[in-house]
Amino acid sequence: MVESPSPTQTLTVSSSENRKSIMITSSENPKSLLISTSQNPNSLTISQSPNPNSPLPTSQPQNPESRFAFKRPEVRVTSEFDSDSALFFNKVSCKLFDSLAKLKLSFQNNRNGDVSDPQLGFFTKYFSVYYDVEEQNALINGSFNVGKRLMFKGSQDVKAQQGELAMVASHSDPAYKLELASAVPSVGFPKATFRFPLGEVSLEERGKEEEEEVKRVLSVSGIVKSQLLNGLCTAQFNDDNLNLRYAYKDEELAFIPSISLPSNAMSFAFKRRFSPSDKLSYWYNLDSSSWSSVYKHTLGKDLKLKAGYDSAVRLGWASLWVGDEDGKAKTAPMKMKVQFMLQVPQDDIKSSAVLFRVKKRWDF
């Protein structure tokens, strides 16, 4: 069905000379509709020209207050209770300025609500302040980079009026670094530490008492690691002491012997994994004949059973972890971690005790 135009409306139809295009114009709404045909009879193109009298689209004015809108930072509250000390350890933190800075408040309280050890911290990437309210003391840390391979950092204990300044120079290979650190106020030469892929070596000047006199002597310390016979050999030295440690580990077995020189104190650790959820660890000290062992059984990611014995303190124990033992509370179910522990002294079984710890996190 085709409706006829109203009496007040005029339609104009024009055709080009080649009769391949037709233009229709309405007087009421002056828009042109162009219908053109190409040489292909099966092709038809329709286009519409804009109305010159129609108003241009205008953007809505932006509220100036929205530019300065302040988003309330998320507040995180973590509380942990230890039945052994009967204390609550609390921490309140929030990120500011689009996570560029962090504000943290920590304190302890007992069951009566008495607050102790309040501390306030403000942290950014290159600057931090840690303030102890009871001691009325602040620890200030700061750092800045000069180019890509040079960094300066420093720390200051306000109350003790002591600090440290350090310069770290990096090689094109980031595994190689040289650090020079000096105490403030300066005492002797700065400490030099050279880090490389196999470990690090430090050279510093220390005070040594000899016949009621303090002499400054050079001290060398460091640690070197290297692969040896499908294991990792580690040598840690400090002045006249040397500790050698070898660690062999595969998917099921780990064996770690160690010896200290010149005391010749020897010890070794043995670990055996029976299945992905069962593991036994054993430590033995040949010098003191003391030993300890731990058996661990996991049930999924958030449940772990552990039992062990320590001959040095003659104590047997068993514990149950709900939540990842090494993880944070935010990754645990309901953001809560719980540990129950049973301690049984070998010499006095009647004095056995049940301890527990609970850690909970809230996000606001």
Helix H, strand E, coil C: the string for 121-145 is EEEECCEEEEEECCCCEEEEEEEEE
The stretch 68-95 carries a mean pLDDT of 88
DSSP string of 288-349, one letter each residue = TTEEEEEEEEE-SSSEEEEEEEETTTTEEEEEEEES-SSS-GGGSGGGEEEEEEEEEESS-G
Residue 272, pLDDT > 90, answer: yes
Residue 14, pLDDT > 50, answer: no
Q: How far from the centroid of its chain's Cα atoms is residue 356's Cα? A: 27
Per-residue model confidence as pLDDT tens digits over 293-316:
999 999 888 899 999 999 999 999
The reported pLDDT for the residue numbered 182 is: 93
The reported pLDDT for the residue numbered 208 is: 73
Please give the model's pTM, rounded to 2 decimal places. Answer: 0.69
- Per-residue pLDDT band for 43 (boundaries 50, 70, 90) equals very low
Residue 86, pLDDT > 60, answer: yes
The stretch 310-335 carries a mean pLDDT of 89
Token digits for 193?
Answer: 């530490």
SS3 243: strand
Residue 209, pLDDT > 90, answer: no
The reported pLDDT for the residue numbered 287 is: 86
The stretch 346-355 carries a mean pLDDT of 92
The stretch 38-46 carries a mean pLDDT of 47
Chain mean pLDDT for the chain:
83
The stretch 184-192 carries a mean pLDDT of 88
Name 132's bridge partners. Answer: 119, 137
The larger pLDDT score, comparing residue 57 to residue 1, is at: 57
What contacts 26, CB < 8 A, 6 or more positions away?
Answer: 5, 9, 10, 11, 12
The larger pLDDT score, comparing residue 218 to residue 307, is at: 307
Q: What distance in Å separates the CA atoms of residue 238 and residue 110, rounded to the nearest whole number?
A: 43
Lowest mean pLDDT of 107-111, 213-217, 302-306, name the range.
Answer: 213-217
Name 108's bridge partners. Answer: 89, 116
The reported pLDDT for the residue numbered 58 is: 52
